[in-house]
Every structure is written in structure tokens, then in C-alpha cells.
Structure 1
């Protein structure tokens, strides 16, 4: 990737309004403070399945501050997280407070991915997978969509995905760009614009699973924004 590349034209693709996001899984991302050494993703789908089945997310939907349904869902997710003893689906750890590199294990403690970043990389991070991974057959670089762009992009199995940061960390949406249009496949809803804790809603997509969505979402939530617009 060129460090000062032109903005990806996919950012401006029209939205496929016929296929709004229909979440089938929900994860609670908990990171603690900005300097935490551990981030967890808990699958709280069984606790909010009734809400997910009736949740209507339009393509131009508001953030959590003005959405009662999402506010209630996030509240229920926190309640479920505090009451369950089920281990997190993903636990990410880093060696120090200033490190941008994370190692992720699943609920059994098996390594599933790494997130590698450097302070001087101008926002570029890479999600790395072990050989034979069922989540991805290749590493996934995550990088700014263009010079000073607020959005990040990555490619999975030759398909371009866009993490659009639309209202700070209050609302981040993951779009799949195909055939000149984009379809929302996941959404992160945070409590405020600097939130690293929040609800990750994931729809059905054959190319990306919960691990890919979760790891790239953590990359976006922990990115450095000093050089962006």
C-alpha cells in the first residue's frame, strides 16, 4: 500500500438498500481503559436472540444516542456479560500499554490470530492467522481508505470491505463492496465517540466470520487518528 494513496472509490459506492443489515450474532467488546492490556469479545447472542430477530437496522440508521432499540440491546448485553461464566469467544492481549500488537486466543485458549501494528505505519495494521486457519487463508492488512480518510479498508478473498467510522466510535459500520454497490455486514455501537467498549452486531456473510469481523473491528477501535482528517 502506498502511504499517501488516493481515496478508494468504493467509499462512494451507493448503498444496496434492498439488503439492510440483519444481525444474526452479537458480541460485547470490553476493553476497559485506553491503556488496558486485555480486550475481550463475548458472544452474547443467546441472551439477546429475541431482540436480534426483531431488530430493524436501516441503511441510514442512527447511532446509539438516538436509537432506543440499540440502547436497550447494549444494556441487556452488559447484564448478560456480567451474569455469565462462559469464557470470551476471543481474548486479545498485548505486552505493554503503548504496544499496537495484540495476540488473540479463543475460548479454549487456542491461538487464532494476531493483530500487528507500528507507531510509524500511518494507520496500517495487519491481522495475521496461523497456518491452516479456518477463519482466513491469508493475512489481512487493515489500512486507511486514503489520505487522511476516516474509513479503513481490508480485502478478504478478493472482496473489499470498508470499516466506516461515521460518528466517532458511537457508530462504525462494516460494508462489503461488490459490483459497484456496498452492503452492510456488521455494525459496532459504542456508548460514546471515544468508546472502545460496545456492541458488535454481525450479519451473515460467506467471506467473513466473527473472528475476522472482531479482529478488524478491534484494529479500528485501537487505531491512531492523529494524521486523519
Structure 2
């Protein structure tokens, strides 16, 4: 009976976490250690390693097992390579390039913000399948951590799931008055920039590369706000 009661509480907690958030995911990514001062950020596609429904009862343990193998070997013994890499030539620059290893050719650029209140700009080649125009991500207000951007004339809004925590946040696509969740980030660490958090995406609703860049930008802003509040 005791075990059943704990299970019920866990299911209730999962239900609360999913309320208003992403309910279905088609792709999953792990974002490696993230810091304003790192010269590169590696993103691993772990979709083929997922064996449980999103946010099921044993989800967190399942993700920790996968995290222990990143970087490492997949089930068939092949090396798990980053599916995306964000890098910059020097530490003290906010201009970054985005590539898809092992190809080092840029598929886009990221002009990051210096302060959390500033905008970030992502640009893509003219023939890019990810966006036909630059994407500008910016805070929705001076006193809010939520960020917004427009892609193909559709407004997207990134919000933190909990008021006092920056470990969980969700991306919504706005259609009329309706907000549709299209991606969700959950950190398994106490500090989000330690890395290892999982980004779940519904790729029927959002381009995966754009979703990953949105997530990386949100993580960058979290660190910037932490540094600004310490001054």
C-alpha cells in the first residue's frame, strides 16, 4: 500500500509538471556544459536512446543513465557525436557560429547579447531549411525573464515553468489567442549552466535547430542574470 501511495504522488507530480506544458515530443537533445565563457557548446541528439514516454514515472532515472554515456558510445558501439555545435573564435566575443558535426561549415550565426536585457540575433543562409529570415529573440519586458521571437510571421514565447526556478522552461507557439507548447527544457542539475539538461521538441510544430538555439539563448540569459544580480 505504501508503494502504491508513493506512485500515486509521483503521477500527480508528473501531471502537475505537464499541465500547460509539452505533452508529446518527437526529438530529444542533451545540451552539454553551458557557460558564457566557453568557446563551444555541444548538443547531442539522444532521440534513438529514449525508451520511455516523455515524463513517465522513471523518466529522470532513464535520462541520468543516458547522460552517463554522453559523450560516449551508442548501443551498437558507435560513437555518439554532437548533432549541433555552437562555437566562437575567441572568448571575448558574442559572435558565434552554428555547425552540424562532422561538417564544420556554418549553418548559421548567433550574435549573442552582452546583458540579459538585450536581444540576440540568429542569421541563416538564404537557402537554409531552418528559417527564411533572421530570428531576433528578445525579452518581453524589462522585468520579465520570458523571451519572444517571430518565425515565419508566427510569434513564439519562451516562459519559465516555475516562478522561483530557472531549471525548467517551455517554448510556446502563439496561434491567435492559443499558446501551443512546442519544446520544453528540463535540467537535471541544480545549476542550469552545468549542462546535461534535456530539451524535448515536437518537430511537427517547430524546427529542431531553431528550438535548440532558443534553448541555448535562454540558458545564456539565465547565467547573465545571475552575474548581473551579483554585481
Residue 13 (structure 1) aligns with = none
Alignment of 1:161-180 (within 5 A): 161-167=156-162, 168-180=165-177
| Aligned partner (choices 104, 122, 125) of residue 98 of structure 2 | 104
Residue 21 (structure 1) aligns with = 23
99 and 159 in structure 1: CA distance in 2 versus 1, 3 angstrom threshold: same
Unaligned runs of 5+ in 2: 1-18, 74-78
User: Would you say 1:43 and 2:37 are equivalent positions?
Assistant: no
* In structure 2, C-alpha distance between the alignment counterparts of 1:86 and 1:162, rounded to whole Å: 31
CA shift, 1:169, in A, is: 3.3
Residue 32 (structure 2) aligns with = 30
Secondary structure at 1:211 match in 2? helix
User: Would you say 1:90 and 2:84 are equivalent positions?
Assistant: yes
TM-score by length of 2: 0.76
- Of 147-156 and 73-82, the range deviating more from structure 2: 73-82
CA shift, 1:77, in A, is: 2.7
| Aligned partner (choices 184, 189, 199) of residue 186 of structure 2 | 189
Residue 211 (structure 1) aligns with = 209
* In structure 2, C-alpha distance between the alignment counterparts of 1:19 and 1:199, rounded to whole Å: 15
Residue 160 (structure 1) aligns with = 155
CA shift, 1:193, in A, is: 5.3
- Of 69-78 and 211-220, the range deviating more from structure 2: 69-78
Aligned length: 197
* In structure 1, C-alpha distance between the alignment counterparts of 2:143 and 2:20, rounded to whole Å: 31
149 and 111 in structure 1: CA distance in 2 versus 1, 3 angstrom threshold: same
Q: Answer whether contact 1:163 1:174 (CA < 8 A) is retained.
A: yes
1:142-185 Cα deviation digits (max 9, x unpaired): 00011221100111111111111234331011111112021111
Unaligned runs of 5+ in 1: 1-16, 58-67
Secondary structure at 2:192 match in 1? coil
Residue 64 (structure 1) aligns with = none
Residue 219 (structure 2) aligns with = 221
1:82-109 Cα deviation digits (max 9, x unpaired): 3321321101112333433321110222
User: Would you say 1:76 and 2:65 are equivalent positions?
Assistant: yes
* In structure 2, C-alpha distance between the alignment counterparts of 1:70 and 1:150, rounded to whole Å: 27
Larger fraction in helix: 2
Secondary structure at 1:92 match in 2? strand
CA RMSD of aligned residues (A): 2.4
TM-score by length of 1: 0.76
138 and 32 in structure 1: CA distance in 2 versus 1, 3 angstrom threshold: closer
CA shift, 1:21, in A, is: 2.5
